[in-house]
Amino acid sequence: MELYFLGTNAGLPTTQRNVTSVALRMLEERRCSWLFDCGEATQHQILHSPLKLNRLEKIFITHMHGDHVFGLPGLLSSRASQEGTSPLTVYGPQGLKAFLEVTLSATQSRIEFGLEIVEHSGGLIFEDKQIKVEAAALEHRIESYGYRITEKDRPGSLNMELLQEWGVRPGPEYGKLKGGESITANGRTITSGEVLGPPKRGRIVTILGDTRPTSGIHPLAEGADMLVHESTFTREFADLAQKYYHSTAEQAANAAKKAGVGELILTHFSSRYKDYEQLQPLLEEARAIFPNTQLAVEHQSYPIRSAQDREKE
């Protein structure tokens, strides 16, 4: 499970950065990717990435500002043109369905795969055996949401040495034991409890839409292994951030510290910061409060590590 950034800029693209979009890659866990926001030219960014449109299972929109949705109709149309056949669900706030239906209809775009559009107002919006997604309102000029993606606990590791000692070779029996079943091998009944370690805690990643500091951030981010938080300005422009319903790097770091997250990724940078070097003050500002902070860099992967994995490093 990892994040892959396709766009990190706020409002307008620059020659260095595209507007907002980030993919959650879960190839080992689900053999698919999910997309969070889809600013203009996201599909072009995907052409320069390892992502595949036919592996795209879900899209989550945080809010309906253009720099977060203008790339969506084109991406859906391209997916259909590339013979994508698997169903796709798009989640987002009120207005998403009308935006897509009018745009796709006016352009006579033929979407022949199963497309479901789900408008929500927060709460639990998706759950299956592996994962659940919750949303909560933030504080922006329009309705804006953050998403909390929780991976459910996974089975522990098998005691390979003990299994080999008992003459159980790798094969279907391993899968049964991982699934909690008992097996019989060499006249011996082996229960999963004898050879299976404690469950591995599922990872949690929180991805926020545009927002000013607000109490709604904490329940979304509490205990998350990774928090993606907008960081449009440095503290020098705190008044501007407040006026336009955005956050500074310092405010993002304070939210991460309060929520006890594992890692903080800053994104959604003002175009006043032209290149990576000019973004360093945001990084320094955040790290002074929350040291485990990184800047989101486009076409770079960020593995989502559990607390156990981080402790091993």
Of the segments 71-85, 171-185, 223-237, 296-310, which one has the largest average pLDDT value?
223-237
Is-catalytic flag, 67?
A: yes
pLDDT one-digit tens code per residue, 122-139: 999 999 999 999 999 999
Q: Which amino acid, 103?
A: T
pTM: 0.90
Domains defined along the chain, listed by start: 2-154+200-312 (3.60.15.10), 160-195 (no CATH)
In angstroms, how far is CA 199 from the centroid of its own chain? 23
pLDDT one-digit tens code per residue, 261-307: 999 999 999 999 999 999 999 999 999 999 999 999 999 999 999 88
Q: Which of 67, 153, 239, 275 is catalytic?
A: 67
Helix or strand or coil: residue 198? coil
Between strands 263-267 and 293-295, the pairing is: parallel
Using alpha carbons, list the distances in angstroms from residue 123 to 126, 145, 220.
9, 10, 11
218 annotated ligand binder: no
Q: Are 18 and 41 in contact (CB under 8 A)?
A: yes
Structure tokens at 231: 């960081």
153 annotated ligand binder: no
44 annotated ligand binder: no
Q: Is the model's pLDDT at 52 over the cut of 90?
A: yes
Alpha helices (runs of H) in 13-82, residue ranges in sequence order? 42-47, 66-69, 72-81
